[in-house]
Amino acid sequence: MHPSEEIYGEKSLKLEGKRIVMGITGSIAATECFYAVRELIRHGAEVFPVMTEAASRLVTPDSLEFASGHPPVLSLTGRTEHIDLMGSADLLLIYPATANTVSKIANGIDDTAVTSMATVAFGSGVPVAFVPAMHESMYRNPAVSANVERLRSWGAAFIGPRTDGVRAKAASRDEVVENVIRILSKGPLSGRRVLVIGGRSEEAIDSMRIITNRSSGRTALSLAVKAFEMGADTELWMGGADVQIPGWIPAKRFSSVEDLVSMVPSISHDLVIVPAALADFRPDHVIEGKASSGSGLDLKLVPVEKVLPLVRGRCRRVIGFKAESGLSGEALAEKARSRLEKYGLSAIVADDVSMAGKGAAEVLFVTADSFETVSGSKDEVAEGILERAAKLL
């Protein structure tokens, strides 16, 4: 057994059966390709490396063969590797993509094994994705910028770069993998704008203390990542949370319900999903400074504005969440349906409060005339929710 087979599907089978040709060019970011190849295999892909001469001076062909299980194509021979490989490929991923290679491909120049793969891919309709890596001044060069736009107009995807004022760095390994999954999924949310609002609101008592709800933000993050993988133009608004939001998910943060209410007018999405644990009450005033801990503290709580009806006023398709305690089956569905009808929602995801913060979940997906149980890990539940949500659009 080749070492690459030992890690096949280790993380998921999201890329099962997919054949990815990875074109590696002469950027120092080529040193990351070993790990990117392995990560793609961990999600079920088969990866075929193709290298320019410059790339082979930065990373050895033997290391790429170890990583992928396939000897890299270094030059074209009488075996017509470019026709053979691209004829059965699902994606050409050029990672890293230098200014030189981007510009060559955009202008039909075909003088390396990688540019030959691109010529065949564009000519035969195989998806092409670029992961640019160069100095930022090169990326901003008008000729390079024009070449990037030309390639976009041909249907090419660009993943990254991350700019820091000096370098246009290659996208992170996770961002590359997630975008590959997105490109190859042909998901039911392709072309849709999806907003996920999650986490917990935090209502100030004084300068140090808050009133909040239990929420890790994991459900919201799982929904945002899964929506991205299913092709959506995804945005995440997150309150207090115990999870790290990856840089490739566009995100905004809020603290209090009032903060969130001020953000609602910017909603212009096809679907909004709201798993946020938002406060029903807040202190009637915020104590200046820090309240003394030496004596008791009386708080008067006043209701906060309900966010769901405001969101519904901005979007036709809204899915809310409802947590209850001690209810199951029909009773939980009926409780959720009353809120659905009250706010004019498309669906409610209902669960028991005991599920908060857990790695696995069981929820009900409730519509006006039916309900279904969705269970599994947070990611599996998120996928189940989104598959059902897509049918409502």
How would you list the strands of the sheet with 251-253, edge to edge? Answer: 251-253, 233-238, 193-198, 271-274, 318-324, 347-352, 360-366, 371-377
DSSP-based three-state secondary structure for 204: strand
pLDDT tens-digit profile, the chain (393 residues): 788 889 999 999 999 999 999 999 999 999 999 999 999 999 999 999 999 999 999 999 999 999 999 999 999 877 777 788 889 999 999 999 999 999 999 999 999 999 999 999 999 999 999 999 999 999 999 999 999 999 999 999 999 999 888 999 999 999 999 999 999 987 899 999 999 999 999 999 888 888 998 889 999 999 999 999 999 999 999 999 999 999 999 999 999 999 999 999 999 999 999 999 999 999 988 888 887 777 778 889 999 999 999 999 999 999 999 888 767 678 888 888 999 999 999 999 998 765 555 556 789 999 998 889 999 988 899 999 999 999 999
Cis previous bond, 188, omega within 30: no
Task: Return the closest-CA partner of residue 321 out of 340, 303, 293.
Answer: 340
In this predicted structure, what is the pLDDT of residue 214? 86
Q: What is the pTM of this model?
A: 0.88
Q: Identical fold at 3-185 and 193-390?
A: yes
pLDDT in tens, 331-382: 888 888 999 999 999 999 998 765 555 556 789 999 998 889 999 988 899 9
Task: Return the closest-CA partner of residue 365 out of 331, 393, 389.
Answer: 389
In this predicted structure, what is the pLDDT of residue 34? 95
Question: Tokens 């008008």 label which residue?
Answer: 142
Task: Return the closest-CA partner of residue 8 out of 50, 40, 48.
Answer: 40
347, 390 Cβ separation under 8 angstroms: no
CA angle 211, 217, 222 (to 5 degrees): 165
CATH 3.40.190.10 holds for 3-185: no
d(Cα 23, Cα 101) in Å, to the nearest integer? Answer: 10
360, 376 Cβ separation under 8 angstroms: yes
145, 138 Cβ separation under 8 angstroms: no
Q: Which pair of tokens denotes residue 249? A: 């998910």
In this predicted structure, what is the pLDDT of residue 360? 66
CATH assignment of 193-390, given 3.30.360.10, 3.40.640.10, 3.40.50.10300, 3.30.70.360? 3.40.50.10300
How would you list the strands of the sheet with 128-132, edge to edge? Answer: 46-51, 19-24, 91-97, 128-132, 157-158
**Beta-carbon contacts of residue 3 (< 8 Å; ≥ 6 apart):** 66, 69
What phi and psi values does residue 122 have, to the nearest 5 degrees? -65, -35
Q: Which pair of tokens denotes residue 308? A: 């769901």
DSSP string, 122-177: HHHT--EEEEE-EEHHHHHSHHHHHHHHHHHHTT-EE---EE-SSEEEPPPHHHHH
323, 332 Cβ separation under 8 angstroms: no
**Beta-carbon contacts of residue 142 (< 8 Å; ≥ 6 apart):** none
In this predicted structure, what is the pLDDT of residue 318? 97
Give residue 1's Cα distance to chain centre.
33
- Sorted by where each begins, the domain ranges of the chain are 3-185, 193-390
d(Cα 118, Cα 126) in Å, to the nearest integer? Answer: 9
